[in-house]
């Protein structure tokens, strides 16, 4: 079935934010006694919500995380975003081409609505998806569960068979598969091993310039 709704993840797909979050996670987790490598942070947390990371930290440490630590993490992350956030290379032209071809589009991300609104606005992408932005906090189960993608599709009036997903994390790809939606997995960020993205119902691609034609060919 041709793709009628294209569901975009945000971090790592629309905005180049994950490289900032990974470095911050490595530094701040070490500060509270859980040293992890960049690769371990990617495997555990990329594509999941901040609350999921907090839950995992508390399970590892055996006690609640000091709210002051979470506040420091958020402050430092917002400072990094304000100073360094950029769009993923080529994504503006890709989104414009996909929309011009008549595909409906939306965003479905593990991030909060507040962060999505702020970050997409800061790089002039919010208007392209205004009114069609969904957060992992809208559903009971975040990625890799299919709930968020199914919620977005149902809200906008599409069946899973009419939808495709653009993702960049193994948890996001797993969520798309669980939702019964073909996934276009972006590997151009260079952080997620291609082997973590490959699999049934998935097309791995390297540049956003490829995406409109890939979707047209569905």
Is CATH 3.40.50.1000 what the domain over 5-16+86-216 is classified as, yes or no? yes
Query: What does the pLDDT read at residue 2?
Result: 79
Q: Quick check: 1 pLDDT over 80? A: no
Instruction: Tell me which DSSP letter residue 191 carries.
Output: -
pLDDT one-digit tens code per residue, 92-116 = 999 999 999 999 999 999 999 999 9
Q: Are 52 and 25 in contact (CB under 8 A)?
A: no
Instruction: Tell me which DSSP letter residue 201 carries.
Output: T
Parts of the chain belonging to CATH 3.40.50.1000: 5-16+86-216
pLDDT one-digit tens code per residue, 138-155 = 999 999 999 999 999 999
Q: Are 210 and 193 in contact (CB under 8 A)?
A: no
Parts of the chain belonging to CATH 1.10.150.240: 18-84
Q: What is the mean pLDDT of the chain?
A: 95
Q: Are 6 and 98 in contact (CB under 8 A)?
A: yes
**Minimum mean pLDDT among 51-60, 134-143, 189-198: which range?**
189-198
pLDDT-derived band at 218, boundaries 50, 70, 90: confident
Closest CA to 201 of 129, 148, 146: 146
pLDDT-derived band at 190, boundaries 50, 70, 90: confident
- Which CATH number among 3.40.50.300, 1.10.150.240, 3.40.640.10, 3.30.457.10 corresponds to the domain 18-84? 1.10.150.240
As given in the structure block, the two tokens for residue 136 are: 């992992």
């Amino acid at each position: 079935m041709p793709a009628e709704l294209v569901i975009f993840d945000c971090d790592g797909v629309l905005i180049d934010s994950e490289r900032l979050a990974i470095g911050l996670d490595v530094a701040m987790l070490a500060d509270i006694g859980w040293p992890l490598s960049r690769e371990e942070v990617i495997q555990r947390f990329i594509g999941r919500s901040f609350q999921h990371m907090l839950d995992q930290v508390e399970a590892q440490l055996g006690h609640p995380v000091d709210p002051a630590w979470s506040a420091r993490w958020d402050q430092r992350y917002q400072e990094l975003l304000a100073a360094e956030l950029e769009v993923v290379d080529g994504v503006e032209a890709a989104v414009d081409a996909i929309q011009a071809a008549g595909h409906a589009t939306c965003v479905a991300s593990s991030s909060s609505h507040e962060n999505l609104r702020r970050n997409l606005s800061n790089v002039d992408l919010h208007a392209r998806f205004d009114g069609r932005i969904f957060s992992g906090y809208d559903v009971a189960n975040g990625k890799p569960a299919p709930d968020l993608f199914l919620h977005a599709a149902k809200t906008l009036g599409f069946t899973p068979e009419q939808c495709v997903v653009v993702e960049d994390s193994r948890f996001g790809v797993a969520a798309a598969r669980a939702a019964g939606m073909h996934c276009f997995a972006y590997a151009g960020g260079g952080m997620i091993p291609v082997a973590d993205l490959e699999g049934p119902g998935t097309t791995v691609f390297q540049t956003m310039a490829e995406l409109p034609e890939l979707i047209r060919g569905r």
